[in-house]
Amino acid sequence: FKVLNSCLFALPPIAEQERIVEKVSSLMSLCDQLEQQSLTSLDAHQQLVETLLGTLTDSQNTAELAENWARISEHFDTLFTTEASVAALKQTILQLAVMGKLVPQDPNDEPASELLKRIAQEKAQLVKEGKIKKQRPLPPISDEEKPFELPEGWE
């Protein structure tokens, strides 16, 4: 404190100090308004992204999916600029894959049931050889638990 007492400080007159405080207050208020506008804009942006991505998963056929994708891809660089929008895009891609909407469905593909049988046989062999432990079977999935209709050829 003694060091500060021995120093000289230039201070503007009281009227000037009041004008400075008033100006800083008005600028801080403007910053608050800009921050609120930015948050509102980000919320609107995320809602737009989620709505547009929803049109992809809700597409009823390949033509509708292509049309909805064209709308998104036209504005891709504007839509996917935030961490949340990119995360939503990743989830949508995974959802489309699970729904069988990313590639054309080939009726000549091996049914999933056959693949599962082969996997079960291979697991049984590995259990028999002592390489893995026997696992409990998964419970069946009821129709109420299925969030969407499976593509043709899926079981």
Q: Is the pLDDT of residue 33 over 90?
A: yes
Same domain, 117 and 94: no
The pTM of this model reads 0.61
Same domain, 20 and 79: yes
Same domain, 132 and 94: no
pLDDT, residue 145, reads 85
Q: Is the pLDDT of residue 56 over 80?
A: yes
For the segment 63-84, what is each residue's pLDDT rounded down to a tens digit?
Answer: 999 999 999 999 999 999 999 9
Range of the domain at 120: 109-137
Split at pLDDT 50, 70, 90, the class of 155 is low
Average pLDDT score over residue span 20-30: 96
Q: Is the pLDDT of residue 107 over 90?
A: no
What are the helix (H) ranges across 1-155?
A: 2-5, 14-57, 62-74, 76-79, 83-98, 112-128
Is 146 part of a structural domain of the chain?
no
CA distance linking residue 144 with residue 22, whole number of Å: 63
**Cβ neighbours of 57 (radius 10 Å):** 17
Name the domain count of the chain.
Answer: 2
Residues 6+ apart with CB under 8 A from 81: 45
Average pLDDT score over residue span 94-121: 88
How many residues comprise the chain?
155
Split at pLDDT 50, 70, 90, the class of 100 is confident
pLDDT, residue 78, reads 95
In degrees, rounded to 5, the angle at the alpha carbon of residue 108 between the alpha carbons of residues 105 and 113 is 85
Q: Are 155 and 117 in contact (CB under 8 A)?
A: no
Is 45 part of a structural domain of the chain?
yes
